[in-house]
Amino acid sequence: MPAFELFQPSSISDAQKLLEQYREDAWVVAGGLDSFDWLKDRIKRPKALVDLSGIAEMKGVRTSSEGVEIGAMTTLTEVVRHPVVREKYGLLAEAAELAASPQIRNQGTIGGNVSQDARCWYYRAGWPCYRAGGNVCYADTPTGRNREHAILHAERCVAVNPSDSAPALIALDARFVLRTPKGERIIDAEDYFIGPDVDITRLHILKPGDLLTSIRIPSTWAGAQFYFEKVRDRNVWDFALLNVASAMQVSGNAIERIRLAVNGAAARPLRLRAVEDAARGKPATSATGEMAGKLAVQGAVALQFNAYKIPLMRNLVKRAIGGVEEAKWVS
């Protein structure tokens, strides 16, 4: 690894002071799983590593009548096993449990899962692509390898967001709590993520000096009808080719309220607002799901090797609304 100075603050305020001091030269370490890959390959060369593992106030799940607040340094395993999360917000528990492998979930954090960088192999191998400051997207060329890449909202960079928990948090109407040099800031989960049209070098809004401290999930969606499905090449460890998360409140058989998001289709997790509007008031049936699936992929453009993602996304959205009429073919 390249040489760096290691800091292990014991409070959020101390961590923030370090981040403000070093700014672009600082690297935040949560579980460290994504960070160590960058450092071992010597692609990233920060001057200072700020290890958050000693900050107790950023760990654990706190419950109240208004919902739950999950510290950004809470491991995915803790999220999965928490009784209130499992009982009332099972969508997040299911999504977190499908991330990576048990060993990785024991170390990886919820904050790290939503903040990890793109997995495009050109970018990860140090190629001078757009995301790395160059002037070409190697995946979007006639000879590019792009089976896992974007079908929607691709602008120069076609890498996708790899988080499993992100679409579940968007469907649950979560809020992300940030500490910035100007003070605390609370934003909707869907606004935490950005695409290349906003900033091609980042997948989220954090700037030098900013820190994600916790995630709040309101009680408004507690106990709703949830659906999560992840499609991947292998049942353990692999990142999603696509995943879908939905939260519905149904009266009789009519959809009263719905929030639906997908990931793996674009550089950021996508909340499908047009689909939500079209499904609201309609029966939660496969026919409604069929309509929703077709609407969800409008405007999708396939690259050379990822055309399969269009029917896959259409079917995942259909299942998220109408349910699964036969056994799942991928878990």
- pLDDT of res. 236: 85
CATH of residue 71's domain is 3.30.465.10
- pLDDT of res. 324: 64
Same domain, 84 and 185: yes
* pLDDT digits 0-9 by tens, 231-281: 999 988 899 999 999 999 999 989 999 999 999 999 999 999 999 999 999
Of 145, 298, 112, 294, nearest to 212 by C-alpha is 112
Let me know if residue 133 belongs to a domain.
no
Same domain, 230 and 310: yes
- pLDDT of res. 327: 34
Same domain, 174 and 43: no
Let me know if residue 15 belongs to a domain.
yes
Judged against a pLDDT cut of 70, whether residue 189 lies above it is answered with: yes
Burial of 313 (0-12, 13-18, 19+ CB in 10 A): buried
Let me know if residue 128 belongs to a domain.
no
Same domain, 175 and 47: no
CATH of residue 244's domain is 3.30.390.50
Same domain, 213 and 172: yes
How many independent structural domains does the chain possess?
3
In this prediction, residue 323 has a pLDDT band, given cuts at 50, 70 and 90, of confident
Same domain, 198 and 306: no
Same domain, 175 and 74: yes
Judged against a pLDDT cut of 80, whether residue 187 lies above it is answered with: yes
Of 84, 136, 128, 74, nearest to 105 by C-alpha is 74
In this prediction, residue 329 has a pLDDT band, given cuts at 50, 70 and 90, of very low
Tell me if residue 158 falls in helix, strand or coil. Answer: coil
Burial of 223 (0-12, 13-18, 19+ CB in 10 A): exposed
* pLDDT digits 0-9 by tens, 159-173: 999 999 999 999 999
Q: Which domain holds residue 167?
A: 56-115+161-220
Same domain, 63 and 203: yes
- pLDDT of res. 326: 41
Let me know if residue 295 belongs to a domain.
yes
- What average pLDDT does range 143-162 have in this prediction? 96
